[in-house]
Structure 1
Amino acid sequence: MTAPRPASPSQPVLIVSDHTGLTAENTARALLAHFPGQPLRYLQRPFVATVEAARGVAREVRALAERGERPLIFTTITDPAVLRELEATPARVFDLLGPGLAALEEEFGVRAARSVGRYHDMHDQTSYVARMDALDFALATDDGLGNRQYGLADVILVGVSRAGKTPTSLFLALQYSLKASNYPLAEDDFEREGLPIPLEPYRSKLHGLTIDPRRLHAIRTQRKPGSRYASLEQCEYEVRQAERLFARAGLPVRDTTSASVEEIAAGIVAQLRRE
């Protein structure tokens, strides 16, 4: 194994795709997460589907190299001519599809359909429509709105304000096509012994989200500095009361303090599958 090269102050990582670039970026970030000490900056270059577009990226890469930087390219380009333009640059190119497609061609005994945007296109209309319907539902029932539609929900997230309910609901919709509602707990809800009245009929759909009060204090301070809403005392009170409510109701609970929305959503989906 060669000795590690010193990284530049912020090494450029170009995400180059012939479509949206979401697959390439997710894969690149997953790989690079194993090198936490490397300072990186991500440069998204989607819809590079022609040789001319690739030459534009190649010029950018050469300019970076001339400044003494060491660009990395992560790509899901499928057109060999377009890919060659990138491989002719001084960057280290990571072809995220090539080796895998070649192995699958050998396995299946047929050539891969190397067309643009196979993963993120709309060839699967049923899946696309389901995701859009779930997204519309999440927006319509966000933050306690549309509680009359809770019967249609796959999951209802419950927690104090700014605990991560809305981003998790939207991610569940877009990634998993789940109809996710969310309900914000307020002080009136803590005065009851049981669940808030709108949630009572849907106990089996409820998932609690909690958060460290100090983290909640920091988030709320950015939103409303100096307010009672953002005070550490108020945050500690709300989190404590919410966790007591979750315990009394026997709800599954996820801590969002240091978890990404992807981790929170994946945990909820795993819980739903177990149930």
Structure 2
Amino acid sequence: MNDTSKIERTVYLVSDGTGITVETFSNAVLSQFDKAYFQQIHLPFIDSIEKAQKSVIIINKNALETGYPPIIFSTLVNQEIMTLLKNSNCIFLDLFGTFVNHIEKAIGQKSNNSIGRSHMVSDSEKYRNRIDAINFCLAHDDGQFVNQLDKADVILIGISRCGKTPTSLYLAMQYAIKAANFPLTPDDFERNMLPSTIVPYKDKLFGLSIHPERLSEVRNERRPNSKYATIEQCRYEVMASEKMMRREGISWLSTTTKSIEEISTTVLQEIGLSRTLA
């Protein structure tokens, strides 16, 4: 149940494509309002008048039922379709138009208003790079495949369940970064040495850690009432892994209170990788 003291509004994310761009932008904007609750509803692939008309019916019905005009974040480019949505009972925010109009004036050139252009598969090189990075990440998850680590852009290290896999996947999917990840285990701490497999690639290593209490919660969801999930075991592994990373001069951060976007951005900055969207 939502906090009754919070303002509640419906938000429609309207796009002529997948809606990834409008979702990313709207999340960044809406996160600035922590005393409001936004119910986000996706309306992707609105690329025809018929689909736009159906969307208008949905939006107007929501305004009538809630008593408030919903907020629309839009990356539509077709003016006729956009006009239909603008004339519905809503607060319409045109994300592309806000910037495109200024750029048109600045460079003296009209935009081509191509539907779905921001994620066109026709940019084959970028698309192939992203698929290659995802395949590399999946093959090198949790140290399961140690060949071709020389081809990795970054190797994330850390104890089990500290966030290595989701960070690796995000780097691959968003930035076409070939990210491998490798676990640090109690055996490594007893030997007081990094795993020999990753020692030759020390300049590519970046460490992740996590608060022991949060780690215990996560592990208990996976293996309830196991030694692996006890707070004592978690404290030991966190302390030992952070000590090892400090001793080896490996940059690291705690994932406890950070989003996947924040973690990935820090990794890119620390390793010195280019942050070019795939």
Same fold (TM over 0.5): yes
Residue-by-residue CA offset, 1:227-248 (whole Å, 9 max, x unaligned): 1111111111111111111011
Is the 8 Å Cα contact of residues 11 and 69 (structure 1) preserved in structure 2? no
- Counterpart of 1:53 in structure 2: which amino acid? K
- Counterpart of 1:40 in structure 2: which amino acid? F
1:177 paired to 2:176: yes
Of 44, 48, 58, which aligns to 2:46?
48
Judging changes above 3 Å, is the alpha-carbon distance between structure 1 residues 225 and 9 closer, same or farther for their aligned structure 2 residues? farther
Distance in 2 of aligned mates of 1:46 and 1:17 = 5
Is the 8 Å Cα contact of residues 58 and 85 (structure 1) preserved in structure 2? yes
* SS of equivalent residue, structure 1 residue 268: helix
Is the 8 Å Cα contact of residues 73 and 93 (structure 1) preserved in structure 2? yes
- Counterpart of 2:59 in structure 1: which amino acid? V
Is the 8 Å Cα contact of residues 6 and 35 (structure 2) preserved in structure 1? no
Q: Which runs of 5+ in 2 are unaligned?
A: none
RMSD: 1.7
Residue-by-residue CA offset, 1:61-104 (whole Å, 9 max, x unaligned): 11111112431110000001111111111111100011211111
Judging changes above 3 Å, is the alpha-carbon distance between structure 1 residues 78 and 98 closer, same or farther for their aligned structure 2 residues? same
Judging changes above 3 Å, is the alpha-carbon distance between structure 1 residues 170 and 60 closer, same or farther for their aligned structure 2 residues? same
Determine the structure 2 residue equivalent to 1:3: none
Determine the structure 1 residue equivalent to 2:197: 198
Residue-by-residue CA offset, 1:116-142 (whole Å, 9 max, x unaligned): 111111232111111110110000000
- Counterpart of 1:246 in structure 2: which amino acid? M
- Structure 1 residue 9 displacement after superposition: 5.6
1:129 paired to 2:128: yes
Aligned residues: 270
Judging changes above 3 Å, is the alpha-carbon distance between structure 1 residues 105 and 7 closer, same or farther for their aligned structure 2 residues? farther
Determine the structure 1 residue equivalent to 2:165: 166
- Structure 1 residue 187 displacement after superposition: 1.2
Judging changes above 3 Å, is the alpha-carbon distance between structure 1 residues 69 and 162 closer, same or farther for their aligned structure 2 residues? farther
1:147 paired to 2:146: yes
Is the 8 Å Cα contact of residues 50 and 82 (structure 1) preserved in structure 2? yes
Deviation >3 Å, runs of 4+: 6-10
- Counterpart of 1:57 in structure 2: which amino acid? S
- Counterpart of 1:23 in structure 2: which amino acid? T
Distance in 1 of aligned mates of 2:8 and 2:99 = 30
* SS of equivalent residue, structure 1 residue 40: strand
Distance in 2 of aligned mates of 1:243 and 1:8 = 40
Is the 8 Å Cα contact of residues 209 and 254 (structure 1) preserved in structure 2? yes
Residue-by-residue CA offset, 1:24-83 (whole Å, 9 max, x unaligned): 111111111111111111111111111111111111111111112431110000001111
Residue-by-residue CA offset, 1:192-215 (whole Å, 9 max, x unaligned): 222111111111111010100111
Distance in 2 of aligned mates of 1:35 and 1:100 = 23
Residue-by-residue CA offset, 1:6-25 (whole Å, 9 max, x unaligned): 99863211100000111111
- Counterpart of 1:156 in structure 2: which amino acid? I
Determine the structure 2 residue equivalent to 1:78: 77
- Counterpart of 1:184 in structure 2: which amino acid? P
- Counterpart of 2:223 in structure 1: which amino acid? K
Is the 8 Å Cα contact of residues 159 and 241 (structure 2) preserved in structure 1? yes
Distance in 2 of aligned mates of 1:221 and 1:274 = 35
Determine the structure 2 residue equivalent to 1:22: 20
- Structure 1 residue 274 displacement after superposition: 8.0
Judging changes above 3 Å, is the alpha-carbon distance between structure 1 residues 8 and 48 closer, same or farther for their aligned structure 2 residues? farther
Distance in 1 of aligned mates of 2:240 and 2:72 = 49
Determine the structure 2 residue equivalent to 1:246: 245
Distance in 2 of aligned mates of 1:199 and 1:273 = 19
Is the 8 Å Cα contact of residues 161 and 184 (structure 1) preserved in structure 2? yes
Determine the structure 2 residue equivalent to 1:67: 65
Is the 8 Å Cα contact of residues 8 and 69 (structure 1) preserved in structure 2? no
Deviates more, 1:185-194 or 1:136-145: 185-194
Identity within the alignment, %: 39
Determine the structure 2 residue equivalent to 1:216: 215
Q: Which runs of 5+ in 1 are unaligned?
A: 1-5
Distance in 2 of aligned mates of 1:52 and 1:98 = 22
Determine the structure 2 residue equivalent to 1:187: 186
